[in-house]
Amino acid sequence: MIIGLTGSIGCGKTTAANIFKELGAVIIDADKIAREIVEPQMLAWQQIIDAFGDEALNPDLTINRHYMGELIFNDRLSRERLNQITHPLIREEIDKQIQEQNGKIIIIDAPLLIEAGVEKIADRIIVVITSRDTQIRRLKMRNLFSDFQIEARLNSQLSLEDKIKKADYIIDNDGSIIETTRQIKKIWEEL
């Protein structure tokens, strides 16, 4: 069974994925794949340089994630161009990792699950939600983002309301870890 796990930035998707992993799920981390495909000399790395220039590189030739983040979260066309480069390669690696599993519950942990069309391969969709105030508080604490950076990132993603429309299950992660774990265990039992 393939489960898509998504939610907006700061909703606690990674926390939920870790709990599912403890329960026995195989986790495919789309963010980890996204970091791996842009390592120096990889296909996406070269395509990013071709599309965005040498400004996209750090002195050690890794992708300058800060520069790219500021660019794509403030410019829709740049974000779309980056997605055209990375999404097919991420999807290819997700498909490969799914094929390597056998008879397990696989959870694809992907913030852009719906935006990238990956939800089409999922048997069920789980959306992790939280209040906007909680998202903002978490992003300020975790990432030290400014209010402007937070708004740019929140506005760049499909709204939680639109993600909820696609959901088979919703995890409300506005409460305690105990409450979140209780919700996840209930979903796990149903799966």
* Neighbouring residues of 70: CB distance < 8 A, sequence distance ≥ 6: 149
| Domain locations along the chain | 2-190
- CATH class in words for 2-190: alpha beta
Closest CA to 14 of 1, 31, 36: 31
Distances (CA, A) of 22 to 15, 27, 129, 161: 11, 10, 20, 28
Q: Residue 116: pLDDT band by 50, 70, 90 thresholds?
A: confident
Identify the pLDDT of residue 103: 76
pLDDT digits (tens, 9 = 90+) for 18-61: 999 999 999 999 999 999 999 999 999 999 999 999 999 999 99
Q: What is the pTM of this model?
A: 0.89
Mean pLDDT taken over the chain: 93
Section 166-171 average pLDDT:
96
Q: Give the pLDDT score at 1.
A: 93
Mean pLDDT of 159-166: 91
